[in-house]
Amino acid sequence: MRLEKLTKITAKRKKRVGRGASSGKGTTAGRGTKGQKSRAGYNLPRRFEGGQTALIARIPKARGFKSAKIKPVTISIKAIEAKFNDGDKVNFKTLMEKNILKKMPAQGVKIVGGGKLTKKISFSQVKLSKSVLKIVESMPQSNQAAKSNQSPSQKSTRKKAASRKSKN
């Protein structure tokens, strides 16, 4: 082992502050004079703005909430009317074939209003909104298909409405 072959240690020691005027970091110890930042125990959060109204309090808030409930993919009756012919069946497979759906949705499909249905189309494996259900029920051929596609809540609502009518 030779002295000139040893590797140099270049790590600099931490400067000890507040150790007298001649040390280079005496008296104020590099903190400047006076003020909250010069005092012992100074530790403020980064978001603190010196007492002025904080940014988070100044910006407008998004009201309400976003539901975490998984909702079905909605397709308007207008799209069904445009892509399907008279007598066709609407289900996952046909929706994918007609490029209305790109992939099979895990949360299901719901057909919603926003147009008129002039063709006799039967629905299966899809939920129907109340407005679409009325349109489909008014058509004679696809009446049975619509009733089997109602969600359980729609079926119970119809039963309740029918029992109310019979009481009156």
pLDDT tens per residue across span 37-61: 898 988 988 888 989 999 989 998 8
**Closest Cα to residue 95, out of 121, 131, 70?**
121
How is residue 94 annotated by DSSP?
A: H
- What pLDDT shows up at residue 162? 65
- Interacting residues of 60 by C-beta distance below 8 A, sequence separation 6+: none
Residue ranges in the chain modelled with pLDDT below 70: 141-168
Instruction: Render pLDDT for 15-28 as a digit per residue (tens, 0 to 9).
Output: 898 898 888 888 88
Q: What kind of fold does domain 73-151 have according to CATH?
A: Ribosomal Protein L15; Chain: K; domain 2 (3.100.10)
pLDDT of 159 reads: 61
The torsion region of residue 99 among left (phi > 0), alpha (psi -120 to 50) and beta comes to left
